């Protein structure tokens, strides 16, 4: 299976009136529970970045890491933010890795503070497709109903995440196809189409 390298950022910051927390999880398509990408795939050294503009660690830290990841892995970029100790944003954006897909950057909007080092966090960068919750569930990922109910409001997701396409895809995205396993279980997978046959018609002389 093809692989590619992705860049991730996560962590949290807490200030007097606001706080934000960002996590990135991988959701296996075999129905297992979510996990941190670095626990499952080969990862490089984790770098630390103070959350505060003045370099103080009292307000939290952000972490960055590059991970080598196979195609077709589904990741959830999760954001939680609050003002005056009251939640105002809880949302998640799903991406599915594809080494021939568009090279994208996903930015998560953080709660505002004059001493915050980041307003937008580059939570994900790499070749991947943004997918819907429905597409993910078709591929048998285990996203609990409580998470589905809270984190996937379309309006909130569009407000709190920004997706930038840095490079176009090199191959068109395969369509979801339903297959049946040896045990009789149905599952949706992406199968790349083979090259189309070109029929040339020669004019008769």
SS (H, E, C) 155-166: HHHHHHEEEEEE
- Looking at residue 196, what is its pLDDT? 45
> For the chain, which residues score pLDDT lower than 50?
194-199, 205
Which 8-state DSSP code applies to residue 114? T
For 39, the enclosing helix (H) or strand (E) is helix 37-40
Task: Classify residue 192: in a domain, yes or no.
Answer: no
Task: Classify residue 186: in a domain, yes or no.
Answer: no
For 38, the enclosing helix (H) or strand (E) is helix 37-40
- Looking at residue 198, what is its pLDDT? 46
Residues 6+ apart with CB under 8 A from 28: 34, 35, 40, 73, 74, 141, 142
Task: Classify residue 83: in a domain, yes or no.
Answer: yes
- Looking at residue 174, what is its pLDDT? 83
- Looking at residue 195, what is its pLDDT? 45
Task: Classify residue 11: in a domain, yes or no.
Answer: yes
- Pairwise CA distance, residues 170 & 191, whole Å: 16
- Looking at residue 133, what is its pLDDT? 97
Give the structural domain span for 165: 3-171
Cβ atoms of 117 and 53 closer than 8 Å: yes
Residues 6+ apart with CB under 8 A from 60: 11, 12, 13, 14, 51, 52
What is the distance between the terminal CA atoms of the chain, rounded to a whole angstrom? 49
Task: Classify residue 66: in a domain, yes or no.
Answer: yes
Task: Classify residue 81: in a domain, yes or no.
Answer: yes
**Coil vs helix vs strand at 138:** helix
Tokens in use for 8?
A: 């991730």
Unique residue bearing structure tokens 């915050």? 116
- Looking at residue 6, what is its pLDDT? 98
- Looking at residue 192, what is its pLDDT? 58
Task: Classify residue 199: in a domain, yes or no.
Answer: no
- Pairwise CA distance, residues 188 & 135, whole Å: 9
- Looking at residue 25, what is its pLDDT? 98
- Looking at residue 176, what is its pLDDT? 73
Q: Is the full-model pTM beyond 0.75?
A: yes
Cβ atoms of 20 and 120 closer than 8 Å: no
Overall number of domains in the chain: 1
């Amino acid at each position: 299976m093809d692989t590619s390298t992705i860049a991730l950022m996560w962590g949290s910051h807490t200030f007097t009136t606001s706080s934000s927390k960002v996590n990135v999880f991988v959701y296996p398509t075999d129905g297992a529970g979510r996990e941190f990408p670095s626990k499952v795939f080969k990862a490089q050294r984790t770098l630390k970045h103070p959350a505060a503009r003045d370099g103080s660690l009292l307000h939290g830290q952000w972490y960055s890491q590059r991970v080598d990841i196979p195609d077709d892995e589904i990741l959830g970029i999760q954001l939680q933010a609050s003002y005056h100790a009251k939640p105002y944003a809880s949302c998640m954006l799903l991406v599915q890795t594809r080494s021939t897909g568009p090279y994208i950057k996903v930015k998560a909007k953080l709660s505002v503070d004059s001493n915050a080092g980041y307003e937008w966090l580059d939570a994900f960068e790499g070749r991947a497709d943004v997918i819907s919750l429905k597409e993910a569930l078709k591929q048998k990922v285990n996203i609990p109903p409580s998470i589905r109910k809270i984190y996937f409001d379309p309006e909130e997701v569009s407000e709190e995440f920004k997706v930038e396409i840095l490079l176009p895809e090199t191959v068109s995205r395969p369509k979801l196809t339903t297959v049946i396993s040896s045990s009789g279980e149905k599952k949706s997978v992406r199968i790349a189409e083979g090259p189309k046959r070109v029929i040339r018609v020669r004019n008769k002389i």
